Amino acid sequence: MEELSNYIIGFGYLGVSLTVFAESGLFFGAFLPGDSLLFTVGLLASQGHFNVWLLWVLVSVCAILGDNVGYASGTYFGQKIFTREDSFFFRKSHVVKAHDFYVKYGKKAIVLARFVPIVRTFAPILAGVGKMHYPTFLLYNFIGGLLWSTSLIGLGYFVGNVIPGADKYLEYIIFGIIFLSVFPIIIEFLRAKRTNSGK
């Protein structure tokens, strides 16, 4: 556990910022651990390894900027994204999943997607594909970025201050966050499978 903490501390502000930026709007970012990373750095900030306010500002800015890059790339690629071939960093199924999420929740998807792995990466791209009114996108992007960074960094910081030695259980906490993050996706997958098998 100590090795994991040291690794993340060594990652530094730049590493955290780049990870958040990439996960928020670059195709390959779908594989990055945004939720667990933010909680972890929040917890480590409570131990004095990071300045929590600087961390919050950097993460918020990079999350919002990353979504803007995603929106721009979606505008550029347009409907071609649905016909793009699968590669190591790109899965068409991820686009379809994000598209269904976007159709279901509309403009709110930009905020809600922040808390759903994979969908978080592709939602702003699909907003660009669908040519969502940019000022509207920017507003929801701003709200989503602030809520995501504030809640996860804040939760990690709170846990680190309230539970003595919480950093010793970091790996278990991270696994728990990852499970909670992907649980809705698993449920949705099983529900869709059951629906298809019933046809």
Query: Buried b vs exposed e over 49-58: b needs ≥16 C-beta within 10 Å?
Result: bbebeebbeb
SS3 71: helix
pLDDT value for 60:
95
Domain count, the chain: 1
- What separation in angstroms does the CA of 4 have from each of 31, 118, 132, 157, 185? 19, 23, 40, 17, 27
Tell me the residue range of the domain where 63 lies. Answer: 2-197
- What's the pLDDT at 48? 87
The pLDDT, as a whole number, for residue 86 is 58
pLDDT above 90 for 78:
no
Per-residue pLDDT tens digits for 96-115: 666 676 667 777 888 888 88
Nearest residue to 21 via CA among 145, 106, 123: 145
- Alpha helices per DSSP H over the chain: 2-23, 34-46, 52-77, 92-105, 109-112, 119-129, 134-162, 170-197
The residue behind tokens 């990652």 is 11
Q: How confident is the model at residue 198 (pLDDT cuts 50, 70, 90)?
A: low
Query: Whole-prediction pTM value?
Result: 0.76
